[in-house]
């Protein structure tokens, strides 16, 4: 009986857990964000989503000297309603513009 209860609990957690999935585009709050877009083009959308931002992670090419402007990427994590997603903005070529390089959603 105890084994059955444990199996049912594990099954319930598995069914309700989110599965991370990389996508090419994401529509949220009526706006569509696509991989490959310039960050300048997506900036106004991200400003509107700022209040939904959970946290962010920044990566520098030289972590010992983050003040010299060597930012390579940032990962913005958002939660809008039940939808959780992350947007990775990176510089593909240095020097060059920042682009959306990855969109990850947590889907049930």
Per residue in 25-40, pLDDT (tens digit) is 988 888 899 999 998 8
Distance (Å, rounded) from C-alpha 78 to C-alpha 74? Answer: 13
For residue 101, pLDDT beyond 80? yes
Q: Which residues contact 53 (CB under 8 A, 6 or more apart)?
A: 76, 77, 78
User: Cβ atoms within 10 A of the Cβ of 67, count?
Assistant: 6
Q: Give, in order, the Cα–Cα distances in Å from 72 to each of 39, 40, 56, 83.
A: 13, 16, 14, 27
Confirm whether pTM is higher than 0.75.
Answer: no
Per residue in 39-91, pLDDT (tens digit) is 888 888 887 877 777 766 666 665 555 555 556 778 888 888 888 888 888 87
């Amino acid at each position: 009986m105890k084994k059955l209860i444990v199996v049912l609990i594990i099954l319930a957690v598995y069914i309700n857990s989110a599965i991370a999935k990389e996508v090419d585009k994401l529509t949220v709050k009526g706006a569509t964000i696509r991989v490959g877009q310039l960050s300048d083009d997506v900036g106004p959308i991200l400003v509107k989503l700022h209040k939904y931002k959970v946290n962010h992670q920044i990566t520098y090419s030289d972590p010992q000297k983050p003040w010299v402007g060597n930012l390579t990427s940032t990962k913005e994590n958002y939660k809008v309603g039940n939808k959780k997603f992350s947007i990775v903005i990176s510089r593909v070529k240095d020097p060059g513009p920042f682009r959306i390089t990855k969109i990850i959603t947590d889907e049930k």
